[in-house]
């Protein structure tokens, strides 16, 4: 008889420094679906879920689609959302007949209002219902926080191996394949070790050394038939919680091999941590550079600390504030989230001037607002289409929007920014980046392709925000002791991997 596998999905990358709670609506605008509708949705996209489905079916298994709640990066998840996930998962566990396993598509760095380790909690919940003899396999983001609870309750754990992430499907396929192997009674042993290491996502990529070498090494072990699978995580660092770390997982046919290579990879990952930080400049240094006008083309000030794509709010106004304080005459363009100011602009009307208080109202410890006379240049319903290349043709809606000019600075103000690395978030609103001296881009890596050709220079700013690369800017309250880059003891050696 075909092995029957229930597949569920829960995906949100939490930034605990983002003060806005992620409600069900942010999952509704991602994926919120169940049963056949969910399966149909995933069959048309190269998703992690789709990879699991194909691996199960290739092994002769039968897929039972459950529930998916999928959102992008945001703040802490509302308890209501997690309760819905549990309630609907329980429904499928109870009413799906005999199951041989539950396979999961997860992010892995997800915090709810009540639970720091939502994915571990979810897996443990399922384990308690289905018992020890059924198989749980799960695919995760590379930035997952793989906790003890996850490792104790899952039989196979597989993370993305690319950053920027391009292997969603492949990761699901790996997890599905490992799960089906275990069900078939073939030997699969999982070993793992966790490094007390936080590095900012803007500081490394699998396309370049040194992180690429770790990934290349893992891939070579699989190619040479030494191991079945590996994962090497640098956890998403904006989680102020008491259990957090970067984890290496290896699956092999025997325990000794799994442990040996997990130790090997962990040592390499630990050794490169100092080289995984971005080069950053102060906002003033970047303004100086733009004012010198030697680059001929616009200076792009990248502000990943406030990137909505990365889980931050998008309400920072620090660059406009500095331009204003300096009395700079640079022609500058940017966007900011500020629903209050949008409301005011609509009542002031196009072409009219008023005293505005723009941005800096939501994220704690970010200066602002900018209090200044501004002229309303444009009002908009906020709908635009991405130019890409990533997400080309994808429809976006930033809510109601306006453009306010303060001196030579044009600020697109909107209710809920999205696709912040795509130039259309400015261009569509009449801020043509090519025509400006300085453009603020609130994104991590996505913007490089469209902005590269028009940029005189791309500079990463050391700014505050819920996604700041400079991790020492935050007031950490809950982190465990002995954590890099804060207080890791001199001469620390990674803990030896153990079988999980």
State both tokens at 7: 């597949």
Q: Report the relative pairing of strands 246-252 and 189-195 from DSSP bridges.
A: antiparallel
Residue 141 or residue 155: which is nearer to Zn ion going by CB?
141
Strands (E), 107-220: 135-140, 156-159, 189-195
Minimal distance in Å, beta carbon 199 to Zn ion? 13
Tell me the CA distances in angstroms from 204 to 89, 186, 269, 445, one per residue in order: 36, 36, 12, 10
Residue number of the CB closest to Zn ion reads: 143
Write out the H or E segment, with its range, that includes residue 340: helix 339-348
Residue 15 or residue 117: which is nearer to Zn ion going by CB?
15
- Using the rule CB under 5 A, give the single segment among 2-10, 142-150, 327-335, 400-408 that binds Zn ion: 142-150
Minimal distance in Å, beta carbon 357 to Zn ion? 35
Tell me the CA distances in angstroms from 448 to 39, 215, 424, 452, 497, one per residue in order: 34, 23, 14, 5, 38
Residue for token digits 């897996």?
123
The DSSP annotation for 385-402 comes to: E---STTTT-EEE-SSEE
Residue 59 or residue 390: which is nearer to Zn ion going by CB?
390
- Using the rule CB under 5 A, give the single segment among 19-27, 135-143, 378-386, 394-402 that binds Zn ion: 135-143
Residue 89 or residue 445: which is nearer to Zn ion going by CB?
445
> For residues 317 and 321, what is the distance between their CA atoms, to the nearest angstrom?
6
> For residues 306 and 413, what is the distance between their CA atoms, to the nearest angstrom?
14
Residue 143 or residue 174: which is nearer to Zn ion going by CB?
143
> For residues 350 and 376, what is the distance between their CA atoms, to the nearest angstrom?
5
> For residues 315 and 411, what is the distance between their CA atoms, to the nearest angstrom?
12
Minimal distance in Å, beta carbon 60 to Zn ion? 32
Residue 142 preceded by cis peptide, ω within 30: no
Say whether residue 11 binds Zn ion (CB under 5 A).
no
Residue 143 or residue 400: which is nearer to Zn ion going by CB?
143
- Using the rule CB under 5 A, give the single segment among 140-148, 375-383, 394-402, 468-476 that binds Zn ion: 140-148
Residue 150 or residue 287: which is nearer to Zn ion going by CB?
150
- Using the rule CB under 5 A, give the single segment among 17-25, 133-141, 218-226, 452-460 that binds Zn ion: 133-141
State both tokens at 34: 């169940």
- Candidate residues 32, 50, 134, 143; the one interacting with Zn ion per rule CB under 5 A: 143
Of residues 172-201, those binding Zn ion (CB under 5 A): none
> For residues 398 and 425, what is the distance between their CA atoms, to the nearest angstrom?
9
Minimal distance in Å, beta carbon 142 to Zn ion? 5
Residue for token digits 């892995």?
108
Say whether residue 12 binds Zn ion (CB under 5 A).
no
Binding-residue total with Zn ion (CB under 5 A): 2
Say whether residue 141 binds Zn ion (CB under 5 A).
yes
Q: How many residues does the chain have?
A: 500
Residue 237 or residue 333: which is nearer to Zn ion going by CB?
237
Contact residues toward Zn ion (CB under 5 A) are 141, 143
């Amino acid at each position: 008889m075909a092995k029957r596998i229930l597949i569920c999905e829960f995906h949100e990358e939490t930034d605990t420094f983002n003060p806005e709670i992620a409600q069900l609506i942010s999952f509704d605008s991602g994926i919120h679906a169940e049963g056949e509708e969910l399966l149909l949705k995933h069959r048309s996209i190269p998703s992690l879920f789709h990879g699991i489905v194909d691996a199960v079916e290739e092994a002769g298994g039968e897929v039972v689609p459950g529930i998916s709640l999928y959102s992008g990066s945001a703040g802490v998840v509302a308890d209501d959302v997690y309760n819905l996930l549990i309630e609907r998962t329980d429904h499928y566990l109870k009413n799906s007949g005999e199951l041989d396993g539950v396979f999961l598509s997860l992010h892995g760095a997800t915090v709810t209002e009540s639970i720091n380790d939502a994915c571990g909690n979810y897996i443990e919940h399922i384990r308690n219902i289905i018992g020890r003899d059924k198989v749980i396999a799960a695919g995760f983001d590379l930035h997952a926080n793989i906790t003890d609870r996850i490792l104790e309750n899952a039989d196979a754990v597989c993370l993305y191996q690319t950053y920027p992430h391009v292997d969603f499907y492949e990761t699901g396929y790996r997890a599905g394949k490992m799960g089906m192997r275990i069900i078939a009674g073939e030997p699969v042993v999982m070993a793992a070790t966790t490094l007390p290491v936080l590095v900012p996502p803007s500081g490394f990529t699998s396309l370049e050394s040194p992180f690429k070498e770790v990934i290349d090494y893992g891939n070579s072990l699989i190619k040479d038939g030494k191991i079945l699978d590996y994962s090497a995580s640098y956890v998403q660092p904006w989680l102020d919680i008491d259990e957090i770390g970067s984890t290496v997982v290896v699956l092999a046919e025997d325990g000794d091999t799994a442990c040996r290579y997990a130790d090997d990879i962990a040592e390499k990952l630990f050794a490169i941590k100092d080289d995984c930080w971005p080069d950053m400049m102060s906002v003033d240094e970047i303004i100086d550079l733009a004012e010198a006008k030697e680059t001929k083309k616009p200076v792009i000030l990248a502000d990943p600390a406030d990137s909505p794509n990365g889980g931050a709010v998008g309400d920072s106004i620090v660059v406009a504030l500095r331009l204003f304080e300096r009395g700079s005459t640079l022609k500058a363009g940017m966007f900011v989230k500020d629903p209050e100011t949008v409301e005011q602009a609509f009542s002031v009307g196009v072409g009219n001037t008023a005293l505005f208080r723009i941005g800096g109202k939501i994220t704690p410890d970010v200066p602002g607002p900018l209090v200044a006379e501004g002229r309303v240049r444009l009002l908009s319903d906020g709908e635009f289409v991405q130019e890409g290349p990533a997400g080309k043709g994808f429809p976006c809606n930033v809510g109601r929007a306006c453009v306010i000019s303060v001196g030579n600075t044009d600020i697109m103000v909107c209710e809920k920014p999205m696709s912040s690395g795509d130039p259309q978030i400015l261009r569509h609103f009449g801020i043509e980046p090519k025509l400006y001296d300085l453009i603020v881009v609130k994104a991590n890596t996505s913007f490089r392709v469209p902005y590269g050709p028009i940029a005189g220079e791309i500079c990463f700013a050391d700014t505050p925000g819920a996604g700041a690369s400079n991790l020492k800017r935050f007031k950490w309250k809950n982190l465990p002791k002995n954590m890099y880059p804060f207080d890791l003891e001199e001469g620390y050696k990674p803990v030896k991997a153990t079988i999980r």
